Structure 1
Amino acid sequence: MVRGAGFVVPPGFRSDRGSRFAVCGRPSQRSVWMVRVQTTAADAEESSPKKGHDPEDEEIFVFEQEEENLDSLIVLEAPKVFRPPGSFRADLVTELSVSDLVLLCSLVAVVYGLATASVSVMSGPYVAAVVSTDISKLPWYTLLSTTRIFLGYLVSLVFAIVYAYCAYRIPFAAKALVLIIDILQSIPLLSFLPGVVLGLMALFPGQRAGVELAAMLLLFTSMAWNMVLGFYQSLCTIPRELLEASQVFGLSSWKRFWTLELPAGAMGLVWNSIVSVAGGWFFLISIESFELGNQDFRLPGIGAFLASAAEHANYAAISWGLLSLVAVIVVADFVVWRPLVAWSSKFSYGSGTAAQMAPKSSVLNFLQRSQVTRALHDKLLSQMWLGFVELFPSSRKTRYITPSTSEKRVQSAALIRSAVFALLSVSFAATIGYAGYKAVGVLSVLPLRVWLGLGVDALYTLGRVLVALVLSILWTVPLGVAVGRDPALASRLQPLVQIFASVPATALFPFVLLALVRLGNGLQIGSIVLMMLGMMWYILFNVIAGAQAIPPELFEVDSIYGKESVVKRWKTLILPGIFPYLITGIVTAVGGAWNASIVSEYVIFQGNTISTRGLGSAISVAASTGDYSVLLAGTLVMCGLVLLTNRFVWGPLYKLANTKYRLSQS
């Protein structure tokens, strides 16, 4: 079959020069095609089709075609589609299959489950109840935790897109905005607890909504920063040729975002979403079950279930909890992430063999064939999308702008942007100033020995972070490139990688800690292993996305001219191609490792406290005992180390990635 614009005309229908065809309907066991022909009646009579409806003095014909003859059909270009009124609804009803009905029921069940869980989560008074380890409670706990993850991810996704786009489109504010993300990313999760929990509990006194919103905001802090940096990196590496083309076509900022910038970052955003959600699962136990001073907060969910089972050494309950968690992750991978990865691959740069190397998803193929999704797409979503994108299109009328008028418009726009940024900067500075004033009062009571002790603790944790980073890079980069470039290997390993990445390391703590206790090493070495479980996936998923973003044409050229040296291929093609993604993965991985230190250096297991010296352990002890001065001091030390590393190490590497290693021609 020759494809042109997605419209099919039966063989034997002659097309004169200048004729255009518009075909309605989709192939089934016996397809009926409605064809509008802009040609002469004499030409139409020669093909002797069955005449149909004529709406605008144009010939309308109906053709019947058996499915087995579809290979001989010819596809011709047609700008418009005509369907008689009411035919779409009739086709939809007659062509619905059992799979379509299953899809409809599944959609209704998902919406109902999320709505029920959301109402249960946000309603009623808060009661610090004991989370049961009864296995019969697991389905409901799993639904509650999944709802929290889902809502936290939606907030993180919107924030990441808006924030990264603002940093990308406002160059003079980009450094400040990225610096803020670096600061927030370096703040450990437990440092957010006092302000977030106590503040929301004050807004919703005695209500469960306050604690639930606090849990969702904590999930937000564990997911958003990685997505912001990943999307920002994708925007900064858009090929210059595409940006110049958008300017030539006169696209407005609104239309350029929806047709170029958002699609350009879709692949990286999907992969970073996977690892961000995995980060949410990673901290789920700490979020659903935590102590703040003398108060014990527990929310019903699978994280609190695992924490309670670990406290009572109930290995059967732990195993069932892990099994439920893995089941949720497998279903999410099959139904959500794999289709999104396959769908986002169409936005990669390149052509030719790119389509052959694109990931496949049976769920995506099913949705594309389903009459239900076709109906939603053709009659609702596509029309809404086109109208949404065209809200602020390029100018349809020719405007004659003199150089002076153009200069005035540019100056006015720059003045407005500067005023808005100045207002936000003043507000932010005032907030930081007030917080700094309060912090000085809290920190002034700490003696010098406490600061020196925190400095030594930071060196211990820094050493573990560096060891975990090196060990993670050694295996994630080769595997990520292999998965990203080899479709056969990707089809086998990619699902397993996504599943393993989404299993929270904290859920494995009881088994890991049991082995460590028997070895007698405590957390001296085990904390590095636990830290790797929290950081290596950031690097792996970014490397996979970077390898998939390299145009296949470059590998084809390299296979012709660079066969003699694998090392040279890595040096001249693979490493430069994945470099921007690798730096993003390392930055987020290091931030994740510092955050993971609070749960890998201090663990309560079977009623006993197992810890090793480090900054994460000091912060965990301060949070559990309500020592807010030490908690603040430890947070500042951790933020300072992360910011210094970003300023003198990752910052220059980011600049190198954006200037030298980007997919464009100078």
Structure 2
Amino acid sequence: MLVPILDILQSVPVLGYISFTVTFFLALFPSRVLGAELAAIFAIFTSQAWNMTFSFYQSLRTVPRDLDEVSKGFHLTGWQRFWKLEVPFSMPGLIWNMMMSMSGGWFFVVASEAITVGNHTITLPGIGAYLAQAIADKNLHAIGWVILTMVVVILAYDQLLFRPLVAWADKFRMENTSSGNAPESWLLDLIRRTRLIHRLLVPAGWLLANAARVPLRVRMPKALPAARVRSSAASRTGDIVWMTFVLVLTVFVVWRVVGYVRTGVTLDEIGHVLVLGLITLLRVVVLIAIASVIWVPLGVLIGLRPALAEKIQPLAQFLAAFPANLLFPAFVVVIVRFHLNPDVWLSPLIVLGTQWYILFNVIAGASAYPNDYREAATNFRIRGWQWWRQAILPGIFPYYITGAITASGGAWNASIVAEYVQWGDTKVAAHGLGAYIAQMTAAGDYPKIILGIAVMSLFVTLFNRLLWRPMYTHAESRLRLD
């Protein structure tokens, strides 16, 4: 049940969360700025959480069978298996997805700090609200200061947080031979060589290591065969009761939502929104395919070369964090000046921030690719297309699927920002579901906002169910590193 719920939560656009959570948090803290701050934090959280969740889920489903058998041979409890096997195995991919989540938060910070729903506009102190005001005032000088600030902040957290984490997580790679060129970090070296820091961290490390060894286990009495049958029947009965409850609750929620939407939406409007959804779907599919062709080879090249990854990592984080809003002036001016088709020329803005999900996950997969597999391919002289088809692509495929799922979900989210752009008083809109949701949110038309969000959630969920989930299953059953 959790995976479909995650699909739905990922499919709900950030602007959709803002439209309703602002009212909730403001009512929770009336006449205080704390409510708006919590709404902004919640909106940024929804742009960050899902790719890390799917990355960890992918790692859990692709744990090598031999390591799974070893954990059973040592009779590890669920708690011990989690900390001794599953968390270490997932660490490289999780750290690269943490980078992407940090960058994804920058991408949506404008919509989170400068909130407009109907006639209500809430502006919070922050670089996102500053950028929104600069765009409204056509102030290129202020936009330049935003770019400079982003560069400084991204370089700071790259050197002080992510570079040490990447170097530290290299020890969790699954391999029998060590790599000759491991990633490095000056801060991690400083921590390891400084006695005072080492002594301060030893107690915390000892506490965590012992907590991971605690044999937490729920002791169940041994059941007789007849009791086991009764227990199995009771379990099935409980499953049926639970599923019935969930189904009834879902039908009730859908009935209430449909009843509310019908007050301001006609059948013609629903058909129109479905067509807009198909247009945005076509854009997302084409752009994800183009991004895959470009970034999968480059991600493999970067991930297999730690020295190159150290140089590319800050640049990739900056490009991933680069808000599409900063390119609005160029796109709007060019489209208006040369009378270009917005349906075509606004499309690149959709994939601007989401293509990096593919790159970061492919880098994570290539970084975690066992060194002994690479040496075996070299010894057997596997080169060229055969190496791509039989060696590296199967190894990174689970990571690519994780990146593609989150990239497609992010692209649907980004369509709200990219299909309806503004530079001062000049507005340019493309035909699509994202532009529809943005326009209805600005108008404060809640029935149509709900309709747009529901259609977007439907398209994303069906896309995940019909394409990405079967590919996930294939990766789990045929492409595990064991």
Instruction: Say yes or no: TM over 0.5.
Output: yes
Q: Is the 8 A contact 1:255 1:394 kept in 2?
A: no
Q: Is 1:332 matched with 2:150?
A: no
- Aligned residue for 2:396, secondary structure, equals helix
Query: What's the CA shift string for 1:78-116, capped at 9, x where partnerless?
Result: xxxxxxxxxxxxxxxxxxxxxxxxxxxxxxxxxxxxxxx
| Contact 2:158-2:314 at 8 Å conserved across structures | yes
Do residues 361 (structure 1) and 185 (structure 2) align?
A: yes
* CA distance in 1 between partners of 2:404 and 2:8 (Å): 16
- The 1:383–1:488 alpha-carbon spacing in structure 2 relative to 1, beyond 3 Å, is closer
Maintained 8 Å contact 2:331/2:346: no
Correspondent of 1:436 among 234, 246, 254: 254
Instruction: For 1:483-632, list aligned pairs within 5 A.
Output: 483-521=302-340, 523-563=342-382, 565-632=383-450
* Deviation for aligned residue 1:522: 5.9
Q: Which runs of structure 1 show a deviation greater than 4 angstroms over 4 or more consecutive aligned residues?
A: 401-419, 421-431
Aligned residue number for residue 14 of structure 1: none
Question: How far does residue 448 in structure 1 lie from its aligned partner after superposition?
Answer: 2.1
The SS at the match of 2:122 is strand
Deviations 1:594-643 (A, max 9, x none): 11000000122112322111110001111110111111111121122112
Partner of 2:211: 388
SS at structure 1 position matched to 2:427 = strand
- On the 8 A contact 1:186/1:642 being kept in 2, the answer is yes
Structure 1 residues 580 and 199, CA gap change in structure 2 (3 angstroms): same
Match among 207, 216, 239 for residue 32 of structure 2: 207
Q: Does the residue aligned with 1:632 lie in a helix, a strand or coil?
A: helix
1:374 is displaced (CA, Å) by 0.3
Q: How many residues align?
A: 481
Q: Does 1:305 align with 2:130?
A: yes
AA paired with 2:87? L
Give the letter for the 1:348 counterpart.
R
Secondary structure of the residue aligned to 1:353 is: coil
Other-structure match for 1:375: 199
CA distance in 1, matches of 2:402, 2:154: 25
For 1:444, the aligned partner's letter is R
Structure 1 residue 412: Cα displacement: 6.9
Is the CA contact 1:346–1:358 (under 8 Å) kept in the aligned structure 2? no
Cα distance, 1:429 vs. partner? 4.9
The Cα of 1:486 is off from its aligned counterpart by: 2.0
State the one-letter code of the partner of 2:196: V
Instruction: Kindly provide the amino acid, as one letter, of the partner of residue 639 in structure 1.
Output: S
User: Which of these two proteins has the greater Rg computed from alpha carbons?
Assistant: 1
Does 2:461 match 1:643?
yes
**Runs of 5+ unmatched residues, structure 1:** 1-175
SS at match of 1:360: coil
Q: Work out which structure has the larger RCO, using CA pairs closer than 8 Å and 6 or more positions apart in sequence.
A: 2
1:392 alignment partner AA:
P
Answer with 639-648 or 259-268: which moved more: 639-648
Residue equivalent to 1:653: 471
Shift of residue 432 of structure 1? 3.4
Asked if structure 1 preserves the Cα contact closer than 8 Å seen for 2:103 and 2:318, the reply is no
Quote the residue 1:89 is aligned against.
none
Aligned match of 2:167 in 339, 342, 345? 342
Q: Which piece of structure 1 moves more, 476-485 or 332-341?
A: 332-341
Equivalent residue in structure 2 for 1:218, among 39, 43, 50: 43
State the Cα deviation string for residues 116-145 of structure 1 (Å, max 9, x = none): xxxxxxxxxxxxxxxxxxxxxxxxxxxxxx
- SS for the counterpart of 1:610 is strand
1:6 matched residue in structure 2: none
8 Å Cα contact 2:25/2:38 also seen in 1: yes
State the shift of 1:428 in Å: 5.2
**What SS does the corresponding residue of 2:354 show, helix, strand or coil?**
helix
Q: Matched residues in 2 for 1:410 and 1:184: separation?
A: 37
Q: Distance in 2 between matches of 1:362 and 1:405?
A: 60
Structure 2 counterpart of 1:276, one-letter code: S
Partner Cα distance (2:108, 2:169) in 1:
27
The CA deviation at 1:525 is 2.9
- The separation in 2 between residues aligned to 1:497 and 1:418, in whole angstroms, is 51
Counterpart contact for 1:246–1:256, Cα < 8 Å: yes
Q: How far apart are the structure 1 equivalents of 2:310 and 2:425? A: 43
In terms of mean alpha carbon deviation, does 497-506 or 461-470 score higher? 497-506
Q: Is the Cα contact below 8 Å between 1:196 and 1:214 reproduced in 2?
A: yes
Cα displacement (A) at 1:457: 1.2
The answer to whether the Cα contact below 8 Å between 1:251 and 1:394 also exists between their aligned partners in 2 is no
Assess, with a 3 A threshold, how the Cα gap between structure 1 residues 254 and 406 changes in structure 2: closer, same or farther.
Answer: farther
Q: What secondary structure sits across from 1:290 in the alignment?
A: strand
With normalisation by structure 1, the TM-score equals 0.68
> Partner residue of 2:451?
633
Counterpart AA for 1:358: A
Over 3 Å counting, the alpha-carbon distance change for 1:541 and 1:413 in structure 2 is farther
2:141 aligned partner, one-letter code: A
- Which residue identity lines up with residue 206 of structure 2 in the other structure? Q
Of 263, 267, 284, which aligns to 2:88?
263
Structure 1 or 2: larger helix share?
2
> 1:550, CA displacement in angstroms?
1.4
Once the two structures are TM-superposed, the CA of residue 517 in structure 1 deviates from its matched residue by 3.8
Alignment partners' CA distance in 2, 1:302 and 1:417: 53
Code of the aligned partner of 1:195 = F
Change (3 A) 1:442 1:488: same
Q: Matches of 1:494 and 1:196 in 2, distance apart? A: 34
Matching residue's letter, 2:198: R
**Candidates 289, 292, 296, aligned match of 1:473:** 292
- Distance of 2:393 and 2:150 partners within structure 1: 35
Structure 2, unaligned runs of 5 or more: none
Tell me if the contact between 1:226 and 1:276 (Cα under 8 Å) persists in the aligned partners.
yes
Separation of aligned partners in 1, 2:447 and 2:255: 14
CA contact (8 A) 2:361 2:399 kept: yes
Map of 1:132 onto structure 2: none
The question of whether the paired residues in 1 share the 8 Å contact of 2:136 and 2:424 is answered with yes
User: How far apart are the structure 2 equivalents of 1:602 and 1:277?
Assistant: 24
> Equivalents in 1 of 2:68, 2:226: separation in Å?
21
In structure 2, the partner of 1:134 is none
Distance in structure 2 (CA, Å) of the matches to 1:300 and 1:510 = 23
CA distance in 1, matches of 2:457, 2:420: 19
Distance 1:332 1:427 in 2: 46
What TM-score do the two structures reach when normalised by structure 2?
Answer: 0.93
Aligned to 1:322: 147
Secondary structure of the 1:538 match is: helix
CA apart distance, 1:249: 1.1
Report the alpha carbon displacement of residue 358 of structure 1 after superposing the two structures with TM.
Answer: 2.4
Q: Higher mean Cα deviation, 567-576 or 497-506? A: 497-506
CA RMSD, 1 decimal:
2.6
Residue identity over aligned pairs, in percent, reads 40
Alpha-carbon offset, residue 474 of structure 1: 1.4
- Residue identity in the other structure for 2:352: L
Deviations 1:223-247 (A, max 9, x none): 1111111110011111111111111
Distance 1:260 1:407 in 2: 35
Alignment check: 8 A CA contact 1:562 1:568 kept: no
Per-residue deviation, 1:196: 1.0
Q: CA deviation at 1:364?
A: 1.1
User: CA shift at 1:427, angstroms?
Assistant: 6.7
What's the offset of the Cα at 1:418? 8.8
Alpha carbons 2:175, 2:371 under 8 Å: kept: yes
How far apart are the structure 2 equivalents of 1:623 and 1:496? Answer: 34
Change (3 A) 1:435 1:574: same
Cα pair distance change 1:248/1:482, threshold 3 Å: same
